[in-house]
Each structure stands twice: as structure tokens, then as C-alpha cells.
Amino acid sequence: MTSLPIEIPEGFIALVAKGDTVTPGQVLARKEAPQDEMVNILQGLNISRKQAKKALKMNPGDTISPGDVVAVKTNLFGKVQASIISQISGTILRYERDTGNLVVQTDLEPSSLEIISPVAGTITLCNNKEIVIETEGVLVTEGVALGTTGEGTLFVLQESFGKYNSDIDSSIYFLDDRAVGKIVLVKTLTRDLIIKGDSLGASGFLSNVISDEDIEYVQEKEITLPVLEVNDELVSKLHSWENKKVKIDITSKSIILRE
């Protein structure tokens, strides 16, 4: 059995308790959706209700993104004196003439309001900071986790662990269409391997070694391919799981072994 810790961010309420049994996909914690955002046009531009109609640059039903100009105050010569710039994404619901409030419904993915259990197991700890699930068939790492959650059949790039492993750059020549749709386990992962794997259609990477420079590159380029750093012990266990399905859960830094 393995203890799988799952962090509970601020604002989330746990929906389970110690001793509960959970299943994959079950909601462990939920956060209430934020209220609609409002900006007061009259106060923001220091204008009268009569001037507001001319100042508004967007209407109910319009979509809005960060950087969009919402309203502008100009002088008699048309020179801009003040403006209101959006800081959020969403849809304008209405403009309240009496109050001067522009009401925006923010864009929000439902999944961002829920924490889902990636495994079946028993809750052994539940507090305001984390939920711990005792489970089987999971490998947990403390290494670097990048990208988004993904799954696929495990493919071990054996050449990277063999006689070529002293030459980091040579591994890229052995990465081929065997990696399509697979989670690839390599000894040392570089940005070139990630880029090539992404273009081939690999589903993710597990690696024993990832340099700080390559980690920074992946973060800067916002590559969504799941990447997880694993230690020697986990590498040994994963070798025996080749050709079987695995899921990389980035949030919990875990590898879920599927039959």
C-alpha cells in the first residue's frame, strides 16, 4: 500500500472524511464558484450617468479578455483622459444604469472548482491542507512535475539506459514512432527529447534526470506534455511495467499503474 497525499488549496472544502473509501473520479473537495465581477464605470472614470453611455466600449453579450478597453473618458477634443482596462476574461452580462456597475460573468472551467481522486483507496488523513489516500498500484515521487496530467502505455527507451547512456545527446536518435501515444521512460530527459516526443505524439515523459535549464525551458514554453522526475527506485519498478498502461497525475506527483 502507498500513501498518496493530495494538497487542498485555500478555499476548497473537503467532501470526504477519514475512514471513507473513494473511487477514481470521485470529488474529494470543491470550491464555490466566485461571484460575478463588477466594475463601477462612474467612479472609475469620474463621470456622470449621462456620460457613461458614450464612455462604454463594450455591450452586454460581448466577450472580454485581459487588456481589452472597457470604457474611455475623453475631453471635448477627443483626447483620452482616463480608461478602464479589463483584468479578467468573461462575458458582459449587463450595465446597471442606476449604479453605474458593469457586471461580468468570469470564464471558469468547472474542473478548476473540484479536486478529483485519481485512485481508489481509503482516506487516512483529511484536514484543511491535505487529503491522504491509502491505495495500491501507485508510485509517488518528490521530483519535478511539469505539464498536465496524461496517460498511455509505458515505453522504456532502453537505449538511454544502456551503453549509450553516457552520451545524453545520442538518446534523441533512438526516440522514434515507438513513442507515439506512449508514456516514455528515459534515463536523462532534455528539451530536445521533449520537443521531438511532443512532435511525434508521445503522451508524456518519466525521467531519472532533468536539468534545471531544461525545466526552465519547458516552463517558459508552457509545454503541456506531462513530465515527471523519478528516482532510481521508481525507475527500477517502472522497468517491470513496460507495455502496461500508466497515468501521470501531475497534481499529486504520482504514477498510477493500470492493468
Question: What is d(CA 26, CA 41) in angstroms, rounded to the nearest whole number?
Answer: 43
Query: Residue 1 has what pLDDT?
Result: 80
- Judge contact between 254 and 149, C-beta under 8 A: no
Query: Residue 50 has what pLDDT?
Result: 87
Cell numbers at residue 21, please? Answer: 473509501
Write the CB contacts of 82 (distance below 8 Å, at least 6 apart in sequence): 44, 45, 46, 72, 73
Query: Residue 169 has what pLDDT?
Result: 62
Cell numbers at residue 78, please? Answer: 477627443
**pTM as predicted:** 0.66
Write the CB contacts of 255 (distance below 8 Å, at least 6 apart in sequence): 138, 139, 140, 141, 206, 228, 230, 234, 238, 246, 247, 248, 249
Q: Which amino acid is at 256?
A: I
Q: Is the dihedral of CA 247, 249, 250, 254 positive or negative?
A: negative
Domains, in order of start, for the chain: 1-33+113-135 (2.40.50.100), 37-106 (2.40.50), 137-259 (3.50.30.10)
63, HSE (Cβ side, Cα atoms, 13 Å): 3
Question: What is d(CA 182, CA 195) in angstroms, rounded to the nearest whole number?
Answer: 15
- Judge contact between 166 and 149, C-beta under 8 A: no
Question: What is d(CA 240, CA 242) in angstroms, rounded to the nearest whole number?
Answer: 6
- Mean model confidence pLDDT for the chain: 89
Question: What is d(CA 141, CA 64) in angstroms, rounded to the nearest whole number?
Answer: 40
Query: Residue 240 has what pLDDT?
Result: 92
Q: Over the stretch 171-208, which tens digit does the pLDDT of each residue have?
A: 888 999 999 999 999 999 999 999 999 999 999 999 99
